[in-house]
A = this chain, B = another copy of it.
Amino acid sequence: MPEIRYNPITSDWVIIATERAKRPHEFIQTDREKLIVPAYRPDCPFCFGNEDHTPDEIYRLCNDQGWRVRIVSNKYPALSSEGERQWIRRGFFRTVTGVGHHDVVIEHPDHNAAIAGMNAEDVLNILRVYRTRYQELRQDPRVKAIVIFKNHGMEAGTSLEHPHSQIAATPIVPTQFRDRLDMATRFFDTGGECLFCRVLEEELATGERIVAQNADFVAFIPYAALSPFHLWIFPRRHISSFDSTADSELASFASILREVTAKIYYGLGDPAYNFTIRSSPTDEHQTDYFHWYLAIVPRVSRAAGFEMGSGMYINTSLPEASAEFLRSVIVPS
């Protein structure tokens, strides 16, 4: 019989469709066209040497080889960095001015780099840039929430091949953030513990959904994973906002992020994926109730009418089997 699992952090209900469950290797992307991607493309605005083809540069991190990571303005920003945060009433309906920030992070000078194959220092540099920019954006009084995210591959919604991610800073607290913070707050109020710390404790206790771990971080498939190989990386220490992560922790995070993306790359044949880093809203920067984490979703399945009409999900894989599969993937060093 199928089972319907509940995720206590997100309130998501997920049907684990055992009747139609696939084995992990059935999700390997065998039909993905493998192209030889060059390290440099003259027409790519993000490539080393083409810096004058990008919009305004916001930040760059350099070493003696030159820049390693850059932040530039999004050419088509969803949010404008100019203007005031204002509510506008239109009869019964409401609008907030679309102020905030929408940055592009160019992750590497090389066109063909990928987090899964970068050296540890290169991955750490990306995370350092995320943290620096997060700290800066948080000072903008118009900013109420900051989302760091990456779209890798066409099916994950990107048209640009050069490795990049994005940072969006919104002038409102998204409803989903507020709902989850409320849930976690009530959990703390009634039990005196962080909901996220508790879930991590439970995951470590059973161990069956753990994919990787190190001194500071744990990567696991959630009990009620929304889709095959949907994976979370939690810091072990209670940290509510990404930018409060310490230097030594950031290095551990770089290491586990590289390991997990490499397991996905080699184990599943480089599927498209999205990842996102969730932190507490900026006005609740230090809180007992929220715990930042990274979520990564390989695009190996598709949500359709059922998901749209119910907000529930159907997952055609067993989280425990997915975790076991990824655990066993050997990553070339």
Q: Are A4 and B150 in contact (CB under 8 A)?
A: no
Given contacts A179-B179, A305-B275, A311-B177, contact A172 B13 (CB under 8 A): yes
Q: What residues of B have a CB within 8 angstroms of the CB of A77 in the complex?
A: 2, 19
How many Å lie between the Cα of A93 and that of B209 in the bound state? 13
A36 CB-CB contact with B under 8 Å: no
Question: Mask for A41-84, Cβ within 8 A of B = 1, else 0?
Answer: 00000000000000000000000000000000000111110110
How many Å lie between the Cα of A310 and that of B311 in the bound state? 15
- How far apart are A200's CB and chain B's nearest CB, in angstroms? 11
| A residues contacting the other copy or chain, number (CB 8 A) | 79
Given contacts A78-B314, A177-B311, contact A306 B19 (CB under 8 A): no
Which residues of chain A (200-241) have a CB below 8 Å from chain B?
Answer: 202, 205-206, 223-224
A305 contact from B6, B88, B276, Cβ within 8 A: B276
Q: Are B80 and A19 in contact (CB under 8 A)?
A: yes
Q: Are B93 and A6 in contact (CB under 8 A)?
A: yes
A331 CB-CB contact with B under 8 Å: no
> What copy number does this chain have within its complex?
2
15 contacts between A and B (CB under 8 A): A1-B83, A3-B95, A5-B95, A8-B92, A19-B77, A19-B80, A90-B223, A147-B310, A150-B305, A156-B304, A157-B305, A166-B306, A168-B310, A177-B311, A295-B309
How many Å lie between the Cα of A158 and that of B17 in the bound state? 17
Question: Mask for A166-196, Cβ within 8 A of B = 1, else 0?
Answer: 1010111011110100000000000000000
Q: Are B3 and A96 in contact (CB under 8 A)?
A: yes
Q: Are A168 and B306 in contact (CB under 8 A)?
A: yes
Q: Are B91 and A305 in contact (CB under 8 A)?
A: no
A94 CB-CB contact with B under 8 Å: yes
Which residues of chain A (94-147) have a CB below 8 Å from chain B?
Answer: 94-99, 145, 147
Q: What residues of B have a CB within 8 angstroms of the CB of A309 in the complex?
A: 147-149, 274, 276-278, 295
